[in-house]
């Protein structure tokens, strides 16, 4: 199966500054999360995939199309919802979406028909003849989604789609993204600062820092693995207690007075208490949890990018 996105030593330089530094990975999930702090290179990566920036090294492919030589084919199969507004304020929504459909390769009549369909799909059917400049923030977000899907793309890149939305509008946007993922034959790249949005929607997560890939996770596989995590605060020789747990097949990480363990198959909480009693270790607090995307992200931010992954 052809990967959705392939990065092969992809590098981008602005002047003398390297922005993307030899990115290499293959992504095939139905929904892919793109994360990283400000300045990590997320927007640069998106713009490079869309052909707006030229790589200084390596290349990338979308559905097998190379960004160096087949950008027209890429733009025909990719829809892009930008973070910032890029409307022509005096155009009606239906005229603007039609225009965007034509830019994506649709004939004029087909673009108009799809513009109406897209606006009804996102919930702007009754407002499609209003000028986009009169729209509220939430309506503008929906209009940006409509223009991203008007030409029936195979991949939709959503950059901060819930940015500035109130809770009901955010939930509605999340439901639409899930529906596109589950009902329609489309892949989604979601770039967001809201980790809960990415965790709720995405199967794969790619984390950038300082222009490099610092972490990749297949969240779907991790969910299926259903590993059991336990956090505790041991009082006593925590290091020896952690070693004893590892001897029973657990994976342990000890920091300050907190011990985190992944329980081995068949191990129960009572086995932890029994081992603590044997080692004369008190457990002041113990609770089950699983690694959240926030945990993964914070660990990735601690990664030293000077030497790569």
Tens-digit pLDDT profile for residues 206-237 = 999 999 999 998 877 766 655 677 889 999 89
- Element (DSSP H or E) covering residue 146: helix 137-149
Kindly report the pTM of this predicted structure. 0.79
CA-based Rg of the chain, rounded to a whole angstrom? 23
Residue 182 has pLDDT above 50, yes or no: yes
CATH number of domain containing 281:
3.30.70.600
pLDDT of residue 307: 41
Q: Confidence class of residue 62 from pLDDT cuts 50, 70 and 90?
A: very high
Q: Confidence class of residue 309 from pLDDT cuts 50, 70 and 90?
A: very low
Residue 290 has pLDDT above 70, yes or no: no
pLDDT of residue 83: 92
111 lies in the same domain as 254:
no
The percentage of residues in the chain with a pLDDT greater than 90, rounded to a whole number, is 66
pLDDT digits (tens, 9 = 90+) for 34-54: 999 999 999 999 999 999 999
Over range 147-171, report the average pLDDT. 93
pLDDT digits (tens, 9 = 90+) for 91-118: 999 999 999 999 988 999 999 999 999 9
- Element (DSSP H or E) covering residue 158: strand 155-159
Q: How many domains does the chain have?
A: 2
Domain extent, residue 279, equals 228-289
256 lies in the same domain as 114:
no
pLDDT of residue 308: 41
Q: Confidence class of residue 287 from pLDDT cuts 50, 70 and 90?
A: confident
C-alpha 227/C-alpha 264 separation (Å) is: 9
Domain presence at residue 304? no
Give Cα separations from 216 to 26, 61, 98, 127, 296 (angstroms): 10, 18, 37, 41, 9
Domain presence at residue 301? no
Say if residues 264 and 252 touch (Cβ distance below 8 Å). Answer: no
C-alpha 51/C-alpha 22 separation (Å) is: 17
- Element (DSSP H or E) covering residue 261: strand 258-262
Residue 299 has pLDDT above 60, yes or no: yes
CATH number of domain containing 184:
3.40.50.300
pLDDT of residue 9: 97
106 lies in the same domain as 54:
yes
Domain presence at residue 92? yes
215 lies in the same domain as 241:
no
If we measure between CA atoms, which residue out of 39, 24, 5 comes closest to residue 211?
Answer: 39
C-alpha 142/C-alpha 152 separation (Å) is: 16
pLDDT of residue 16: 92
Residue 295 has pLDDT above 90, yes or no: no
Say if residues 293 and 198 touch (Cβ distance below 8 Å). Answer: yes
126 lies in the same domain as 162:
yes
Over range 110-136, report the average pLDDT. 96
Over range 81-86, report the average pLDDT. 91
16 lies in the same domain as 145:
yes
219 lies in the same domain as 277:
no
Token output for 219: 């969240």
């Amino acid at each position: 199966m052809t990967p959705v996105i392939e990065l092969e030593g992809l590098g981008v330089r602005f002047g003398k500054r390297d922005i993307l530094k030899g990115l290499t990975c293959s992504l095939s999930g139905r929904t892919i999360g793109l994360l990283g702090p400000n300045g990590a290179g997320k927007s640069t990566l998106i713009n490079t995939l869309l052909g707006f920036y030229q790589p200084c090294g390596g290349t990338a492919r979308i559905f097998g199309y190379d960004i160096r030589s087949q950008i027209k084919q890429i733009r025909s199969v990719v829809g892009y919802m930008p973070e910032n507004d890029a409307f022509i304020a005096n155009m009606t929504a239906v005229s603007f979406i039609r225009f965007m459909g034509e830019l994506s390769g649709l004939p004029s009549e087909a673009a108009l028909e799809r513009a109406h369909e897209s606006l009804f799909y996102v919930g702007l059917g009754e407002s499609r003849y209003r000028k986009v400049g009169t729209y509220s923030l939430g309506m503008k977000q929906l209009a940006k989604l409509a223009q991203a899907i008007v030409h029936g793309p195979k991949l939709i890149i959503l950059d901060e789609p819930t940015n500035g939305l109130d809770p009901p509008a955010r939930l509605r946007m999340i439901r639409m993204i899930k529906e596109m993922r589950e009902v329609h034959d489309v892949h989604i790249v979601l770039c967001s600062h809201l980790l809960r949005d990415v965790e709720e929607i995405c199967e794969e997560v790619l984390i950038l820092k300082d222009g490099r890939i610092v972490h990749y996770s297949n969240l779907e596989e991790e969910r299926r693995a259903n590993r059991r995590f336990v956090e505790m605060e041991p009082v006593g020789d925590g290091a020896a207690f952690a070693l004893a747990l590892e001897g029973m097949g657990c994976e342990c990480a000890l920091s300050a007075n907190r011990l985190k363990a992944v329980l081995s198959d068949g191990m129960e909480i009572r086995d932890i208490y029994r081992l603590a009693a044997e080692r004369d270790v008190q457990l002041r607090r113990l609770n089950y949890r699983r690694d959240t995307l926030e945990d993964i992200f914070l660990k990735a931010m601690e990664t030293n990018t000077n030497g790569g992954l």
